[in-house]
Structure 1
Amino acid sequence: MSQLTKEKAHAQGMGLDQYLADFKPATLADVAGNDKLEDLINILGNTYIYKLHCDITILSGELKGEIQLGTANSIGLVMQDSKTQVVNLASIPIKGESKPFIADTAKPSAFILGAMRFNDVIIAIDNLTDAINCYNSYKEAGIPASIITSVVPSLFVQTVAEFAQVRQITVNVTAMPADEAKLKRLEGMNVQAVICEHTPIYEAMQYGASYNELLADANIIYLKTIGYPQPKPIVQTLPLVKTFTKDMMPELLWNYTSNCAERLSVPIEYVLIPLVVSLGSVIGTKLTIYPKKYDNWEISPNFFGAIVGNPSSKKSPSLAEGLKPITHLVALAQERYSTDKLEYEAQKELNKHMAKATEKQLGDLAKKLANQTDDDDNESNQEMLKAKAQELAQAKQNDELIPEMKRYITDDGTIESLGELESKHKNGILAKRDELTGLLASLDNESNLQARSFYLEGFNGLSSFQVDRIGRGSIFIETHCLSVIGGIQPDKLEYYLSKATKGLGNDGLIQRFQLMVYPDPLPNSKEKDLPPDKESRDAMYSLFETIDNMQLGDFMKYGANPIDEYHKRPYYRFSDEAYPIFMSWYDDLKVKANNAEHGIIAEHLIKYAKTVPSLALIFHLIDCIEYGGDLGAVTDTALKAAINWCEVLQTHMMRAYSAVTDSANIKASYLADKILKVVKQGTDKTDKTDWLEHGFTARQLIRRGWKGLTDADDVINALEVLIEHDWLRWETVESTGQGGRPTERYYINPRIKELL
């Protein structure tokens, strides 16, 4: 083969196909007497092993283009790159002491023993003899492995660097100084070094040693991680919360809610909050409290409440249990309505026949009066005629008195329907949503601003509200008292809070959810099958019925102040013992709100000024009903219980708002989970960029659309946290000569694998 032909083959892309076509595959006869090459042919057959019948050309370096004398009659081994493309040729002498020769030392390549399958361990060896021994050892042990060898030891580092770009490479070495020097040159590469004390694993395996035992005793080092700090865990734990205890409420509330919670295996808060919200809605505007001794600040005991938990936390059944007493009132109202409707229909039928008789009598009397000539009886008959006409008019008016069912709760009402309910029933209404997300989302819509205003104003409980609709008239609510209860998932709440704190979304709606709880799930809770406590259930139903039926005189019987020209409804004030406690607590609350780190928390805190007196009023009323008489003004016992509730509620509030106060750590934990998945599974094959090798940009991250990582500010904050915790490092990559701004790239710490 001519020199020109050789150069042409090389110029055509180093595929070497045409170059190798002139050589014949090597046989055992060609390598007779060379144990190493005989083993190699026995392993691979004659794949990529050729008998060179002429000298080969040097393809790189100062001697490029010159013929390498002495390579004729040697064995040629085809070398491949990391993509398993044929790129090089090695010459191995059959006899004598000549050293192996590589045609192109500038082209990183290796001779490969094995199939390079996905699950193979890829082991790098710097010489052919050890590579053959290593291959045989792993094969006999039944361990999937492929061996790459540089053939020439001086090219070992170059070879490993080439293949480590694609796969993790394993290097079996000893703790000897020579091997330590070798490893030093491999630092920073994607290499796993398996270091044994005296003998490499593959040699020890030849003497019958167990691979697993050898591996367990070896020191394994990931050379890519050398020089990188150990990543610190991203700790994103929810703030601790307190729970409600028996001494914080009337025994009646505790007995009912604790039994329900035990049967459902849920935190007591899940039942307690719906119960108290519904109880406050039943009281509504019937009874209020004036927290100050002289001021006309008046508070109604209506609440916005929410129970926060994951989909599997039994929010819905807990909500149903807490609302059963008010649902009992709904059932009683339906029974009364059915009875009243039946009586109405019967009376209507009776009125129809009576009206006919009265009409006939009226007609006869009118005729008689028209024909009468005696003036003495005229006045008397006129009176009789008028009386009959009034009787007929009354019968027709009675037909219009259609009975209406008393309403307490609605599941999905528009502001028009809610307004009509409030305008008719005067005492307020409870809006229940099994999932509050839908309500909050609808109120966020710019086209629904009046509905949002309706809910914002309804929290105050005592102001009027006008609902106007073109073509549908107006609804005037004299006393707009709205209560709200529902459940919400943590991630939905986090999303809403994130929006509420940006732009103009924070108008105080979420802060009105004063009775919002986010408890820990019960540890190791097992499903139970327990009967309801009939005594506590009947007592709670009776309490709701009693309060629902109470009128002015009943409230006065329990010590409430009567109505007068300045007070439209019965009311309480704090007792002489409770009043200074409240005023001192209120001063402390304002200080705490002023010192709050975030505005949304300050706004939530200051609204406890309505919550605490409302709870104290409810607790005091229950105490009076249980006692059966007048206990005077709201006691310090009821107030202290309400203040204890406030302390518990604050911890739940801080947990809920941690999505705002600890937003960066939360987003960082989301990103950390994604990075761990990338490291564990490898780079997403649909992504053109290898994040593990080449890093990524914030823009690429945002394009992924991962949960909680679509907002640019959130992403930058998360990246900064991960940099601080040594999960990432960043570099500014200057623009190319074509212009453009520098780009910040983020690189994943290879030591992340230690966290898997």
Structure 2
Amino acid sequence: MGVVDRKKHFFYKIAFFIVRDSGDSFLARVCEAHLTYDSEEIAPSTAEANVGMADTAFGAADGPSGGENARWDEPIPLGAMPAVPAFAWDMLPPSVSDYVRDVSDRQGSPPEFIAVSLIGAFAGVVGNGIRIAPRSCDDWAVVPALWGMLIGEASMMKTPSIQAGLMPLDDLQTRLDRDYAKQREGLVVEMELARLLNQELASQAKLALRARNLEEAHRLLSMRPQVVQQAQIRLQVGDVSETRMVQLLAENPFGLLAVHDELPAFFSRLIKRSGSSERAMLLKAATGDVRHSHDRAGRARLDIPHLTLSLLGGIQPARLTAIVRDANGNGADGLLARFQLSVWPDPAPDRQGIDRRPDVAAAEAVRAIFRDAYDCSRGSIGPKILRCELAAQDLFDRWSARNLAEAATRAPALQSHLVKSVKTIASLALLIELMRGGRQQVSFAGMQMALRWAPFLAAHAERLYALGASGTAEAERILDKRLHLPDCFTARDIYRSSWSGLGKAAVEKGLHELFRHGYLRPEIRATGGRPTTVYVWNPRLSDPEVFADKI
């Protein structure tokens, strides 16, 4: 760091303490960003350094390129959703992707909808019977309980996609129901014989009591046969009450898949009762390996050693705004972040279904995968735990470190979502390995396929949480007053003008949003006294055609 840089660093250090005590939190963040920027000795002329400085100042890392000498890009329209990548077929094993492709082509539905539905159904089948140990030495084991959310308008085929993903699970459930019916038929005779024998022993015990032979009566009653009828195995459940859900989870200790065709009612109930026991129970169930006890007056206590619930549903974007804002406010308990498999693809009006016969072989291959995984997950005493082979472990560790570092730069709600993706990718690695036929350890190919989901899901998460970003209305108000402001202005110039809806707090939100979309950049300038943050308009806004399209 040269002499000039040291003087500049000392200036910002003094400025930081001055503005921190003055209550100007935004300006304090700008000065603090400059301190970090200078201490790392990054050349101030590089675009990368300017991006990092500006992003830190605004508390976000998703703004456009900044800096005094950086190139100005065309501004992004306010309210525009972040871009998401197209679904890649190598994110699934070939036997599974063949089925997803066939259904997507015939239905005209987004392939990511079918893929997420299929993975959610597969997670429900595996339950807590098979787990993955994401670390080479630690005993931490992850249960592949996954929550998926399909986001799209009513015309985007969410319900048919969910049904296609549930097809192999429904087929497996039919087989289990048939086996249960046969078992129940065999128990009918035994239960009737047990009833008659109980009546006979009770009669003899009464005679023994009349003869005051208590020992004989006790012996006769202890001989009464007990026929235990096992509960019917279920893999899937709909929208039920908390008590019924706990009862079903107790009867199905390997876990369940909850399916909500429309999620708004689910969210509405939990948001209204943010501190309810149901919400707390569901948050624990998403972990998949938490002991849960359910106590209610007048009812027997239910103890569940491993509370496991996967969840799948659809929702329209218009119903999501309040939910995302709840995740940033009173509902910041990780409920929305549990929906790790949230996908929001771009609408494709030209996507038309193809009228052709289904690929029977692809469908049967998926059914076989579900049957084999079910038998494997229930075939041993205690859960089966898979570890990663050496190359797969190294790949996962390096990605995990990068992911946590990236998450630390994001807003709290999105940060919570990205941190939880470590468990998600580990779960996907396990499920993909099971789909590929692996039963001993997670291979490098399985882990590589799972990690292809990481940037894909992260992009969709950014689009999801962008709904809760405040400041769009304020940004539009500032933009409306652009012609009344100089090319270089301060926040004080705006809120001292007493324009409607542009108080001090609103101006800070609006400037943040305008920066994120590339309409302006912040700069700190020395004035001989207290440093001043000024804003410079994007020169591209001088073009009337460009400006008219960006409001």
* TM-score normalised by length of structure 2: 0.69
Partner of 1:609: 422
SS in 1 for 2:441: coil
Deviates more, 1:539-548 or 1:610-619: 539-548
- Code of the residue aligned with 2:421 in structure 1: it is Y
Alpha-carbon separation, structure 2, partners of 1:233 and 1:365? 92
Per-residue deviation, 1:546: 2.0
Per-residue deviation, 1:386: 10
**From 178, 183, 193, the counterpart of 1:340:** 183
The 5-angstrom pairing of residues 520-535 of structure 1 reads 520-535=346-361
**From 128, 140, 147, the counterpart of 1:304:** 147
Partner of 1:404: 231
Superimposed CA distance per residue, residues 443-469 of structure 1 (whole angstroms, 9 cap, x where no aligned partner): 112375211111111111111112232
Per-residue deviation, 1:696: 9.6
Per-residue deviation, 1:339: 2.6
The 5-angstrom pairing of residues 289-688 of structure 1 reads 289-353=132-196, 389=220, 393-394=224-225, 397-398=226-227, 401-446=228-273, 449-502=276-329, 504-550=330-376, 568-596=382-410, 598-624=411-437, 632-661=440-469, 663-665=470-472
- Structure 2: runs of 5 or more not aligned: 1-74, 481-497, 518-543
Cα 1:509–1:351, aligned 2, differ >3 Å: closer, same or farther? Answer: same
- Structure 1: runs of 5 or more not aligned: 1-231, 371-381, 556-562, 674-694, 700-711, 726-750
Alpha-carbon separation, structure 2, partners of 1:646 and 1:393? 59
Per-residue deviation, 1:531: 2.7
Alpha-carbon separation, structure 2, partners of 1:670 and 1:307? 33
Cα 1:332–1:666, aligned 2, differ >3 Å: closer, same or farther? Answer: farther
Give yes or no for contact 2:208–2:217 (8 Å, CA) kept in 1. Answer: no
Per-residue deviation, 1:665: 3.5
Per-residue deviation, 1:569: 2.2
Alpha-carbon separation, structure 1, partners of 2:405 and 2:205? 79
Cα 1:363–1:303, aligned 2, differ >3 Å: closer, same or farther? Answer: closer
SS in 2 for 1:656: helix
Partner of 2:46: none
Superimposed CA distance per residue, residues 117-137 of structure 1 (whole angstroms, 9 cap, x where no aligned partner): xxxxxxxxxxxxxxxxxxxxx
Give yes or no for contact 1:463–1:478 (8 Å, CA) kept in 2. Answer: yes
Give yes or no for contact 1:325–1:540 (8 Å, CA) kept in 2. Answer: yes
- Code of the residue aligned with 1:642 in structure 2: it is A
SS in 2 for 1:550: helix
Per-residue deviation, 1:340: 2.8
Cα 1:713–1:279, aligned 2, differ >3 Å: closer, same or farther? Answer: farther
The 5-angstrom pairing of residues 39-438 of structure 1 reads 234-353=77-196, 389=220, 393-394=224-225, 397-398=226-227, 401-438=228-265
The 5-angstrom pairing of residues 9-28 of structure 1 reads none
Alpha-carbon separation, structure 1, partners of 2:513 and 2:444? 47
Count of aligned pairs = 431
SS in 1 for 2:224: helix
SS in 1 for 2:295: strand
Per-residue deviation, 1:513: 0.9
SS in 2 for 1:486: strand
Give yes or no for contact 1:419–1:476 (8 Å, CA) kept in 2. Answer: no
Per-residue deviation, 1:639: 0.7
Per-residue deviation, 1:644: 0.6
Question: Identity of paired residues, percent?
Answer: 26
Per-residue deviation, 1:635: 0.8
Give yes or no for contact 1:418–1:429 (8 Å, CA) kept in 2. Answer: no
Cα 1:644–1:613, aligned 2, differ >3 Å: closer, same or farther? Answer: same
Alpha-carbon separation, structure 1, partners of 2:358 and 2:431? 25
- Code of the residue aligned with 2:224 in structure 1: it is A
Alpha-carbon separation, structure 1, partners of 2:475 and 2:398? 41
- Code of the residue aligned with 1:445 in structure 2: it is K
Superimposed CA distance per residue, residues 261-292 of structure 1 (whole angstroms, 9 cap, x where no aligned partner): 11110110111111101111211110111111
Per-residue deviation, 1:535: 1.2
Superimposed CA distance per residue, residues 207-247 of structure 1 (whole angstroms, 9 cap, x where no aligned partner): xxxxxxxxxxxxxxxxxxxxxxxxx9944332211233222
Give yes or no for contact 1:285–1:428 (8 Å, CA) kept in 2. Answer: yes
Alpha-carbon separation, structure 2, partners of 1:427 and 1:299? 14
Superimposed CA distance per residue, residues 591-614 of structure 1 (whole angstroms, 9 cap, x where no aligned partner): 111122x11111111111101111
Per-residue deviation, 1:517: 0.4
Per-residue deviation, 1:575: 0.5
Give yes or no for contact 1:280–1:618 (8 Å, CA) kept in 2. Answer: yes
Alpha-carbon separation, structure 1, partners of 2:512 and 2:447? 46
Give yes or no for contact 2:148–2:340 (8 Å, CA) kept in 1. Answer: yes
Per-residue deviation, 1:390: 7.7
- Code of the residue aligned with 1:393 in structure 2: it is R
Cα 1:670–1:350, aligned 2, differ >3 Å: closer, same or farther? Answer: farther
SS in 2 for 1:485: strand
- Code of the residue aligned with 2:270 in structure 1: it is L
Cα 1:247–1:527, aligned 2, differ >3 Å: closer, same or farther? Answer: closer
Per-residue deviation, 1:550: 2.5
Per-residue deviation, 1:294: 1.1
Cα 1:240–1:447, aligned 2, differ >3 Å: closer, same or farther? Answer: closer
Cα 1:670–1:438, aligned 2, differ >3 Å: closer, same or farther? Answer: farther
**Highest Rg: 1 or 2?**
1
Give yes or no for contact 2:377–2:384 (8 Å, CA) kept in 1. Answer: no
SS in 2 for 1:624: coil
Give yes or no for contact 2:84–2:456 (8 Å, CA) kept in 1. Answer: yes
Alpha-carbon separation, structure 1, partners of 2:182 and 2:262? 34
Per-residue deviation, 1:470: 3.2
Per-residue deviation, 1:387: 13
Alpha-carbon separation, structure 2, partners of 1:250 and 1:444? 38
Superimposed CA distance per residue, residues 19-54 of structure 1 (whole angstroms, 9 cap, x where no aligned partner): xxxxxxxxxxxxxxxxxxxxxxxxxxxxxxxxxxxx
Q: CA RMSD of the aligned region, Å?
A: 3.9
Superimposed CA distance per residue, residues 1-36 of structure 1 (whole angstroms, 9 cap, x where no aligned partner): xxxxxxxxxxxxxxxxxxxxxxxxxxxxxxxxxxxx
